[in-house]
A and B are shown apart, each in its own frame.
Chain A
C-alpha cells in the first residue's frame, strides 16, 4: 500500500528552466512533508520540508508547494542546473514514521 506516490519516474529539463517534481499522498493525517535528493552510491540528502499548516516554503532555488485539499506536493527548482541531476524522493510523516515515494530521476541538460 503505497501512501506516497511519485508517478513520474523520470524528468528531463533544459538548464536554466524550471523543474517541477510532483508527489501525491493518500493519508490526510500526514503533517510533515520533505524532499530528499539522492546521487548514485550516496544516501539521500535532505533538501527542503514543509509543515501541513503551510502551503509554501522557499529556500533559494527550491520551493515546495503543498495542496492539502488535493493531497499533492510539488518541488520547483528555478533555475535548474546540471548539478541538480539526481533522484528526488518526496516523503511524508505522521508521528515518527516516514513514508517515501518511489523517486523521480531528474536530468538537467546543459
Chain B
C-alpha cells in the first residue's frame, strides 16, 4: 500500500506570494491533518479534514487555509507569505478522526525569501 505523498517536496517563494501544497493520503484513509514544523517549535497543528469537512483548526492566522476533496486528497494554501512561514509542512493521514495513529508524509520544505 502506498504511503502518504506530498508535492512538491521543496519550494522557494518570496514574501507576499501565495503557495499551495498537496497531500495524497493512504488509500482508504479519510482523515488528513496538516502540521508546521519549525526548529524549536516541534510540530504545530494547522487543521484536520475528515470527509471533506474541516474538523479542527489550530492557532494559525487566516492566511493558512485548506480543503479536502472527495477522494480524500487535501491541499493547503498559504497566502501573503511571510519570512516566518519558512518551515517543513507535514501532512498526516489516518483511517478515522481521533485516537488513532497518524501516518506522515515526507513533508514539503517551504523557504520564503
Contacts and interface: CB of A to CB of B under 8 A. Distances in A.
Contact of B55 (A93, A96, A98): A96
Contacts of A22: none
B91 to A, nearest CB: 8
Interface stretch (A13-21, A39-47, A76-84): A39-47
Range of interface residues on B (Cβ < 8 Å):
20 to 34
B42 A95 contact: no
B105 A43 contact: yes
B102 A98 contact: yes
A49 B58 CA distance: 22
Contacts of B25: none
Nearest to A45: B104
A78 to B, nearest CB: 22
Interface of B: 4, 31, 33, 35, 40-45, 48, 50, 55-56, 58, 90, 92, 97-99, 101-107
18 contacts: A34-B101, A36-B104, A42-B106, A43-B4, A43-B90, A43-B105, A44-B90, A46-B102, A51-B99, A93-B99, A95-B56, A96-B56, A97-B45, A97-B56, A97-B58, A98-B33, A98-B102, A100-B42
